[in-house]
Structure 1
Amino acid sequence: MSRPLFGGALSAVVPLNAVDVSELREIPDNQEVFAHAQTDQSVIIELMEHQSQVEDAQAARYHFEDLAGSNKASAEGLWEVREVESISLSELKLQECSSAWLLNGAQLVSKFNEEAKNTVNIHLCVFRLPQYTTDILVTFNNPVNISPLSSSAVVSTDVGWTLQDFHTLLQSLQLLDPGVFG
């Protein structure tokens, strides 16, 4: 079932067991953040300024590297891009985007500025909407190797979200009110 985002300006099918993080802590107005109820997985939907100086094919890498900096994973060896591919617009409900790019990568990140680093597979999609001077960034953070010293080292028996859940969200994302872009 589709869920309203950004006050109903957008909607998407969010994975099962998703907890709206804004009910737990303050989230910036340009983000919708969902965490899996049992695992450390999260999905973040962000309205970002369109980076007109970045070619469409480089947009996902640009945002991934920016994310690596925010995660303090920008040093050599703390991140890798495995694959970047274009998504066919015919697969998407978000017909307003000029292009969409999917990136598969990984980053070594700490939670809460801890010493312990966890390996997180990052699946990122950027929808380019130059007519609204916006890039919509959807990120699926999927921890695959948790340090025993991390506060995330609690063992969960829950299977968690799959890449198919992420792709369902991407394919179902739609714009209902362009006024959200200001």
Structure 2
Amino acid sequence: MSQPLFGGALSAVIPTKAADISELREIPDNQEVFAHTQTDQSIIIELLEHQNQVEDSQAARYHFEDLAGSNKASATGSWNVCGVEQLLQSQLSLPECGSAWLLSGAQLVSKFNEEAKNTVNIHLGLFRLPQYSTDILVTFNDPVSISHLSSSSCAVSGTAVAVWTLQDFRTLLQSLRLLDPGVFG
């Protein structure tokens, strides 16, 4: 079932067991943030300024590297890109996008500026909408190794939990729809 995003301007199928983080804390107006209720997984949907200077084929990598800087994972060996693929327009619900990309990679990141580093698989969906001067960035953070010194270590229990999968993320990307272009200003 599709969930309204950005006040109903967009919608997408969000995976089960998702908590809307805006109900817990302040979230910037250009973001929607969801966290798995039982794991440390999260999904962030952001409306960003379209990067005209970056070719479509390099745009996902550009945003991934920018994210690595924000995550303080920009040091050599702290991140890597495993692959980038173009998403087929015929498989998307967002015909307005000029191109769409899926990047998979990993970053060593700290939570809350802690010393402890966690290995996080990052899947990044990018929808380019130059006619609206917007890039829609959808990020799936999927921790694979959490340091016992991290504040996140208590968030992951030893019991079996239904985690979000890459297929859940692909379903979100394929279901993303624009309902009101006024959201882009």
Q: TM-score, normalised by structure 2?
A: 0.97
Partners of 2:44 and 2:151 in 1: CA distance: 21
> SS of 2:68's equivalent?
helix
Deviations 1:63-108 (A, max 9, x none): 0000000000011010000101100000000010010011000000
Matches within 5 A, 1:102-181: 102-154=102-154, 155-156=156-157, 157=159, 158-181=161-184
> SS of 1:16's equivalent?
coil
Partners of 1:6 and 1:58 in 2: CA distance: 27
Deviations 1:124-162 (A, max 9, x none): 011000000000000000000000111111232213101
Structure 1 unaligned spans of 5+: none
> SS of 2:153's equivalent?
coil
Give the aligned partner of residue 39 of structure 2.
39
Give the aligned partner of residue 26 of structure 1.
26
Partners of 1:168 and 1:86 in 2: CA distance: 15
Give the aligned partner of residue 57 of structure 1.
57
C-alpha displacement of 1:123: 0.1
Runs of 4+ in 1 over 4 A off after TM superposition: none
Partners of 2:112 and 2:39 in 1: CA distance: 16
Give the aligned partner of residue 73 of structure 1.
73
Q: TM-score, normalised by structure 1?
A: 0.99
Aligned residues: percent identity?
Answer: 79
Which is worse superposed, 152-161 or 73-82? 152-161
Q: Aligned AA for 2:71?
A: N
Partners of 1:126 and 1:99 in 2: CA distance: 8
Number of equivalent positions: 182
> SS of 1:153's equivalent?
helix
> SS of 2:107's equivalent?
strand
Give the aligned partner of residue 99 of structure 1.
99
> SS of 2:65's equivalent?
helix
> SS of 1:52's equivalent?
coil
